[in-house]
Amino acid sequence: MSTGQLPDQPPALHLAGVLLPEGGHRDVWVRGGRITFDPVPGAETVSRGGFLLPGLVDAHCHVGIARGGTPTEDLAGAREQALVERAAGVLALRDCGSPVDTRALDDDLDLPRIVRAGQHLAAPRRYIPGLAVELEPADLVAEVRVQARRGDGWVKLVGDWIDRGVGDLAPEWPADVLAAAIAAAHDEGARVTAHTFGTDALPGLIGAGIDCIEHGTGLTEELIGTMAARGTAVVPTLVNVAHFPGFAAAGEAKFPAYASTMRRLHAGSGAVVRAAYEAGVPVFAGTDAGGGIDHGLVAEEIRALHAAGLPAEAALAAGSWAARTWLGLPGIEEGAPADLVVYATDPRADLDTLQRPQRTVLRGRVVG
């Protein structure tokens, strides 16, 4: 992931409006692709009025996974996915596992910044076919090191999936293996996140020092308390969780216990998110776009977080400035790369306005 000086100099720009999250009206200039608050003579005014928001973030997506859960045929398909995100005001993506090497897209100045977690790591026959590196527990630590070096500071584990032998969700890794794998990732300078729907895999993952939980529908009050104490984040992907009843119906004939579990997790998902937020767990907006979820839906996810119990401004932060800080990306500040979106009305007061970006500046260029 590149955040350095752009290879060619974009034109100088000027924008004026209410700067979020601070809230005061300011003039902002863009020079050499970077933000400055010092006037730049001759800059073109491209936006006046409205609300200036650090570019939105989808903190859980899959660039390179097409409809049906198969890899895109080429980078052109992955590029189209990223452009859909950009049109929705999303200027940074945490790619939470993809079999497609999208590093070549970093050189495409038209695309959002991508923070990668490498390829999913799963036990044999315990994830969507063709997407994960499937390996035995004895091989997990070595492969975590490989993926840590291929990613942008993240590694993605599959923590649980349906076990056909038991007919329900079940953990994929022994606790001692998780502890060694997460320690190895940290040694490589990477953070670790894991897909989990159910509860049983969570104690081992959280106890091993994992940095983030994806989905997290099986979180309990005790586990939430441990996460809050350790600063472990959760990305609830509520727009994906909304499909749990459909997953249940599709699997009910063969796996009735699994179907029951998925319906129960769906029913409690909003309460879990609310409890996590109220306990102080960092909550971020992610959609799980790719495969069964369309790209460009982060505004819906932000609204879903608000409906689950987050205050509107906290839900907005979860998909903008707070998520950017979590991923090591700056907001609208002196010297930062100019990645921002302008809205006509205050999104803190009306989250629906996120559906209507008025002006988008990416890498110092007007792209929308």
Domain positions in the chain:
13-54+331-366, 56-325
pLDDT value at residue 2:
42
pTM exceeds 0.85, yes or no: yes
pLDDT value at residue 69:
85
Q: How far apart are CA 276 and CA 286, in angstroms?
A: 16
What is the side-by-side order of every strand in the sheet holding 34-36? 34-36, 25-31, 13-19, 44-54, 340-343, 359-362, 365-366
CB 51 within 8 A of CB 20: yes
Q: What secondary structure does DSSP assign to 19-84, as a single string?
A: ETTT--EEEEEEETTEEESS--TTPEEEEEEEEEEEPEEEEEE-TTEETTTEE-SSHHHHHHHHHH
Does residue 174 have a cis bond before it (omega within 30 degrees)? no
Is residue 167 pLDDT above 80, yes or no?
A: yes
Q: How far apart are CA 16 and CA 27, in angstroms?
A: 4
Does residue 71 have a cis bond before it (omega within 30 degrees)? no
pLDDT tens column, 181-240: 999 999 999 999 999 999 999 999 999 999 999 999 999 999 999 999 999 999 999 999
pLDDT value at residue 9:
79
pLDDT tens column, 67-104: 888 888 889 999 999 999 999 999 999 999 999 999 99
The chain-wide mean pLDDT, for the chain, equals 96
User: Does the structural domain 13-54+331-366 have CATH classification 2.30.40.10?
Assistant: yes
Is residue 146 pLDDT above 60, yes or no?
A: yes
pLDDT value at residue 1:
45
pLDDT tens column, 321-353: 999 999 999 999 999 999 999 999 999 999 999
pLDDT value at residue 3:
42
CATH hierarchy code of domain 56-325: 3.20.20.140
Residue 37 has φ and ψ, to the nearest 5°, of: -100, 5
pLDDT tens column, 31-65: 999 999 999 999 999 999 999 999 999 999 999 99
